[in-house]
Structure 1
Amino acid sequence: MIIKRVLNNNTVISSNSKGLDVLLMGKGIAFGKKKGEDVEIETVEKTFILHDKATQSRFTELMIDVPMEQILVSEKIINFGKIKLGKSLNEIIYVNLTDHVHSTIERYKEGIILKNPLRWDIARFYPDEYAVGEKAIEIIRNELNVSLEIDEAAFIATHFVNAELTQGNGLAYDIAEITKQIEKIVKDYYRTEFDETSLDYYRFITHVKFFSQRVLMGDHYDDADAELLETLKKKYHNEYQCALKIKAFVEAEYRYDLSSTELLYLTAHIRRITKNL
């Protein structure tokens, strides 16, 4: 295979028989090599083919600076995720997850450890993706000798959620649209604006995004919290009435019938974001 571009000693760009750019990795694969020279096949340890040109370009730039072992660990995590989730993932996850793994390890070296305030929400709403995040922590510890905090499981899980959301049919756009409409319902009901930099707002919007995805996919929580909902209905009357408006909106626009559990979560999140009004 002919070298089209040398990225570093361990990575080059070549092309396959179909004319697609191929990223070739191997220890010392490009040492002393230049554009136009051959690559010895026996030096190739890993091959990456990304079909989207923009994604390929971003991934190529990443490979210049990210150590090969981190790239291979990220791929191992992605492959595990594909098997665990049983879903196709947008190629952008190769860029986003590799970049995340690299930047996280760099942060840890500097003693900068971030907490994820949405860890429990992510674990609850996306248990399979969260399980992938937990496995990722184990892989990174075993193969890179870096021990990450459990909060990283949730950060990693969101990359898989996003990679699922960007698959076809404009789902990500539709989620954004539903989220915007629900936010407007709450703002209009309380005749207020929200501090978009606050943690409560971030939690609320994140929950609404997850909820919007379920609406579009027709997924439901079971009616397991009817008794607790009755308690919240009495304790947080206004919040419950606002949640009912959201219920009416998704029923009318998307033929989606909210379960008592979903109504409960909406009421609780509305309470959290409006408690100081």
Structure 2
Amino acid sequence: MRINKILNINSIVIKEDGVEKIVMGSGIAFQKSKNDLVDQSKIEKIFILKEENKKFQELLQSVPESHITLAEDIISYAEEKLEIKLNDHIHIALTDHLSFALEREKKGIPIRNRLVNEIKNLYHQEYEIAIWGIEHVKNELGISLPIDEAAFIALHIHTAKMNLTNIGSSIKKTMIIQDMIDIISSHLSIDIDRESMDYQRLLTHLHFALARLEDNKPFHDMDKDMLDVIKTKYSESFECALSVESFLNAEHSMSFPESEIGYITLHLQRIYDKNYQH
């Protein structure tokens, strides 16, 4: 295995069977030149990014090595905690995002993330990993990134965990859920406790309901008599659930079956009851 190209002191490109691969490891290119043998004891990661290989090579040559190292530390920590291999695209997406975030923070240009609560509750494990990540950044560089950044990092990790490459799909789903929550809060005239277990259960339910729609999976049926009781006994919450479904249909061309509206009603009623007990 020989070096085909040096990207930085910790990253090189090799070519095997005509395929370019990026090899990473601490000091792997130290005092090395093109065509030198690779010290295999220093190899930590090898991956192929196919058509995005060139983009990642450019990224490795253009951002500070400390930013690259920190992104890779977070990726490795995430893979260890989640016990899976993340989609290789995260090496581009997270490195690029983290470097940009660090540069913004140094210039005093924060970016707010209005989805923090939803991301924290929907992707709890990824969020905890991201919290470790921003603490790691602080320990290594002395730069304190805001909680908003932990939420962004968590989305990148979740996207790669789902073996996707576009963070946009994760953001879109989370934004739809937040819009649904806003409709619920407004319709029922309640201030939802976003730290409560009932809220977390509602978020999780809505998340999986949207996933069922996206994957064209069937919903659980509800006994018709039970549904009739819910409509009558919890009429306000049922009307609220219908409003949520109407929004979903009008804005995103998706529809919940009536049985699913019934299940959502039960979640809403629990929150409604808790709110008016105080």
TM range (shorter): 0.5 to 0.7
Alignment of 1:104-115 (within 5 A): 104-115=101-112
Question: What is the match of residue 14 of structure 2?
Answer: 14
Distance in 2 between residues matched to 1:74 and 1:165, nearest whole Å: 19
* 2:243 alignment counterpart: 242
- 1:52 is matched with which residue? 49
Instruction: Quickly say closer, same or farther: Cα 1:215–1:8, change in 2 above 3 A.
Output: same
Tell me the equivalent position of 1:260: 264
Q: 1:258 to 1:140 in 2, by over 3 A?
A: farther
Residues 158-181 of structure 1: CA distance to partner in whole angstroms, max 9, x if unpaired? 10122133459xxx69x98xx7xx
**1:249 counterpart SS class:** coil
Q: CA–CA distance in 1 between the matches of 2:67 and 2:237?
A: 50
Offset at 1:257? 7.3
Aligned CA distance change for structure 1 residues 232 and 100 (closer, same or farther; 3 Å): farther
Runs of 5+ consecutive residues of structure 1 not aligned to the other structure: 187-206, 221-228, 269-277
Query: For each residue in 1:106-156, what CA deviation from the matched residue of structure 2 results, as whole angstroms up to 9, or x when unmatched?
Result: 111111112211101111111111111111111111223221111111010
Distance of aligned partners of 1:106 and 1:208 in 2 relative to their CA distance in 1, 3 Å threshold: farther
- SS at structure 1 position matched to 2:6: strand
Aligned partner of 2:155: which letter? T
Q: Which moved more, 1:19-28 or 1:118-127?
A: 19-28
1:5 is matched with 5
| Corresponding letter in the other structure for 2:22 | V
- Does residue 119 of the first structure (1) align with residue 116 of the second (2)? yes
Q: Within the alignment, does 1:77 sit opposite 2:74 as a pair? A: yes
Name the SS of the counterpart of 1:250 in structure 2.
Answer: coil
SS of residue matched to 1:130: helix
Match of 1:212 in 2: 210
Which residue in 2 is equivalent to 1:156? Answer: 153
**CA separation in 2, counterparts of 1:235 and 1:256?**
13
Please give the root-mean-square deviation of Cα atoms over the aligned residues, in Å: 4.4
Q: Which residue of 1 aligns with 2:62?
A: 65
2-side partners of 1:92 and 1:231: how far apart?
49
Q: Distance in 2 between matches of 1:136 and 1:214?
A: 31
Shift of 1:2: 2.3
Preserved CA contact (<8 Å) 1:22 1:47: no
Percent identical residues: 27
TM-score, normalising length: structure 1 = 0.62
1:93 aligns with 2:83: no
Code of the residue aligned with 1:156 in structure 2: it is I
Does structure 1 conserve the Cα–Cα contact (< 8 Å) formed by 2:93 and 2:156? yes
AA of the residue aligned to 1:242: S
Change in 2 beyond 3 A, CA 1:24/1:53: same
Q: Distance in 2 between matches of 1:20 and 1:110?
A: 36
SS at 1:49's partner residue? strand
Cα distance, 1:96 vs structure 2: 0.6
**Hey, what's the Cα distance between the residues in 2 that align with 1:230 and 1:39?**
76
Task: Choose which of 137, 146, 149 in structure 2 pairs with 1:140.
Answer: 137
For residues 232 and 157 of structure 2, what CA distance do their matches in structure 1 show?
A: 35
Q: Which residue identity does 1:57 align to in structure 2?
A: K
- 1:59-100 deviation per Cα after TM superposition (whole angstroms, max 9, x unaligned): 222111123332222122112212323444211111111111
2:225 alignment counterpart: none
Once the two structures are TM-superposed, the CA of residue 15 in structure 1 deviates from its matched residue by 3.3
Matched residue SS, 1:111: coil
Give me the whole-angstrom Cα distance separating, in 1, the residues matched to 2:131 and 2:98.
Answer: 13
